[in-house]
């Protein structure tokens, strides 16, 4: 009897080993990575839900000065961030703030198309694109590129406009490189988690980007961006020396989060890591198991101290 049990246990162990061998995921090719030429600025579109939180506006204040020869800013799209507590017209509210900050910066001549006010598809799924001036703008700019060139679309809110543009005009997949701020990623478990604000705001759009085999996708998870947490007192001291833009940003913090002694500058972390690749470390990770199997780029770490120095150096522009 004892021998039979031993044999059964051994058989069970062997089966487990077999199963483990069978389920080992096959190797996948590395994700694409476009090499942008060093001698000219990268064409760039920012897609932002600026009326949600405050960090989008800080990202815009960093991006708008024409100090960086690396970026050729083509336009700023507004994005929705609708949820049960958000109130309505979230995209319109983002649009209003984009126009407010562009006016303050004297840059209303920069294209700033309005995005879609609803998610892609339906609340239960599907990928029906949500056409808007913002999705049209992404398509128009991508299709106007000479053969072999690409532009960057950075989404610092829900990915509705970006995914809709791809669904409306699949030919842009090899003309754009997409950067998004979203998802949680747990490095110890090598696990994604989609219960994050931007992803929840349009899960269909997020899945559409992950599933798109031809798309070069870079993800800054919030579990990494959280390192870029700013102290309020230090921030306000510096904003007081940053002219009308500084006063505007300080006021937004006070209006929205009067009781917060610190704030995470999620979106600014992604923007700065893109502008200075040496301040962000990217690794290759496999998409979540429920998505199409492929590899994408994911930030593992940022140099938040160097970023902060750069931010305040850039803000001298507004003095």
Q: Are strands 262-264 and 229-231 parallel, antiparallel or unpaired?
A: antiparallel
Q: Which stretch binds Ca ion (CB under 5 A): 10-18, 149-157, 171-179, 244-252?
A: 149-157
Q: With respect to Ca ion, which residue has the nearer C-beta, 220 or 239?
A: 220
Residue 134 C-beta: closest distance to Ca ion, Å: 15
Residue 229 C-beta: closest distance to Ca ion, Å: 16
Q: With respect to Ca ion, which residue has the nearer C-beta, 137 or 266?
A: 266
Number of residues in contact with Ca ion under rule CB under 5 A: 5
Asked if 56 touches Ca ion (CB under 5 A), the answer is yes
Q: With respect to Ca ion, which residue has the nearer C-beta, 56 or 304?
A: 56
Asked if 182 touches Ca ion (CB under 5 A), the answer is no
What are the two backbone dihedrals, phi and then psi, of residue 299, each rounded to the nearest 5 degrees? -75, 130
For 220, the token pair is: 């800054």
Q: With respect to Ca ion, which residue has the nearer C-beta, 46 or 138?
A: 46
Comparing CA positions, the residue from 101, 39, 92 lying closest to residue 64 is: 101
Residue 226 C-beta: closest distance to Ca ion, Å: 14
- C-alpha span between 118 and 125 (Å, rounded): 13
Asked if 156 touches Ca ion (CB under 5 A), the answer is yes
Residue 238 C-beta: closest distance to Ca ion, Å: 21
Q: Which stretch binds Ca ion (CB under 5 A): 83-91, 169-177, 254-262, 267-275?
A: 267-275
Q: With respect to Ca ion, which residue has the nearer C-beta, 179 or 294?
A: 179
Q: With respect to Ca ion, which residue has the nearer C-beta, 56 or 303?
A: 56
For 305, the token pair is: 């101290």
Rg, C-alpha atoms of the chain: 22
Q: With respect to Ca ion, which residue has the nearer C-beta, 56 or 282?
A: 56
- Give Cα 200 distance to the centre of its chain: 13
Asked if 220 touches Ca ion (CB under 5 A), the answer is no
Q: With respect to Ca ion, which residue has the nearer C-beta, 169 or 267?
A: 267
For 46, the token pair is: 């920012």
Asked if 269 touches Ca ion (CB under 5 A), the answer is no
Residue 294 C-beta: closest distance to Ca ion, Å: 26
DSSP conformation class of 23:
T
Query: Which one among 157, 182, 246, 280 touches Ca ion, defined by CB under 5 A?
Result: 157
Comparing CA positions, the residue from 107, 115, 190, 125 lying closest to residue 156 is: 115
With the C-alpha atoms ordered 166, 171, 175, 177, is the resulting torsion angle positive or negative? positive
Those residues with Cβ within 8 angstroms of residue 263's Cβ, 6 or more apart along the chain or in another chain: 53, 54, 55, 229, 230, 232, 235, 253, 257
Cβ-based burial of 286 (10 A; exposed 0-12, middle 13-18, buried ≥19): middle
CA trace torsion 44, 47, 50, 53 (10° rounding): -100
Q: Which stretch binds Ca ion (CB under 5 A): 92-100, 119-127, 150-158, 164-172?
A: 150-158
Q: Binding string to Ca ion for residues 36 to 55, with x set by CB under 5 A, is what? A: -------------x------
Task: Count CB neighbours of 191 within 10 A.
Answer: 12
Q: Which stretch binds Ca ion (CB under 5 A): 152-160, 199-207, 253-261, 295-303?
A: 152-160
Angle at 179 between CA 174 and CA 180, to 5 degrees: 130
Q: With respect to Ca ion, which residue has the nearer C-beta, 34 or 194?
A: 194
With the C-alpha atoms ordered 65, 71, 77, 82, is the resulting torsion angle positive or negative? negative
User: What is the contact surface with Ca ion in residues (CB under 5 A)?
Assistant: 49, 56, 156-157, 267
């Amino acid at each position: 009897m004892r021998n039979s049990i031993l044999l059964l246990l051994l058989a069970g162990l062997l089966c487990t080993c077999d199963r483990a061998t069978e389920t080992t995921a096959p190797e996948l090719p590395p994700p694409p990575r476009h090499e942008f030429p060093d001698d000219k600025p990268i064409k760039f579109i920012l897609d932002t839900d600026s009326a949600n939180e405050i960090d989008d506006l800080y990202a815009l204040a960093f991006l708008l000065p024409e100090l960086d020869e690396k970026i050729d800013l083509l336009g700023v799209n507004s994005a929705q961030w609708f949820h049960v507590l958000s109130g309505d017209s979230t995209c319109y509210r983002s649009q209003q703030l984009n126009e407010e900050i562009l006016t303050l910066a004297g840059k209303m001549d920069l294209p700033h198309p309005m995005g879609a006010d609803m998610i892609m598809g339906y609340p239960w799924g599907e990928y029906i694109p949500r056409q808007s001036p913002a999705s049209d703008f992404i398509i128009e700019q991508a299709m106007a590129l000479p053969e072999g060139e690409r532009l960057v679309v950075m989404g610092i809110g829900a990915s509705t406009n970006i995914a809709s543009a791809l669904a409306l005009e699949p030919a842009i997949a090899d003309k754009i490189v997409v950067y998004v701020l979203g998802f949680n990623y747990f490095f110890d478990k090598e696990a994604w988690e989609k219960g994050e604000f931007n992803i929840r705001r349009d899960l269909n759009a997020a899945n559409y980007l992950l599933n798109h085999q031809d798309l070069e996708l870079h993800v800054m998870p919030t579990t990494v961006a959280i390192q870029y947490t700013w102290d309020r007192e230090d921030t306000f001291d510096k904003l007081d020396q940053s002219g009308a833009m500084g006063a505007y940003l300080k006021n937004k913090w006070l209006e929205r989060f009067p009781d917060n002694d610190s704030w995470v500058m999620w979106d600014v972390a992604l923007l700065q890591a893109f502008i200075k690749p040496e301040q962000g470390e990217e690794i290759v990770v496999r998409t979540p198991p429920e998505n199409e199997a492929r590899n994408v780029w994911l930030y593992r770490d940022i140099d938040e101290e160097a970023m902060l120095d750069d931010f305040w150096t850039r803000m001298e522009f507004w003095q």
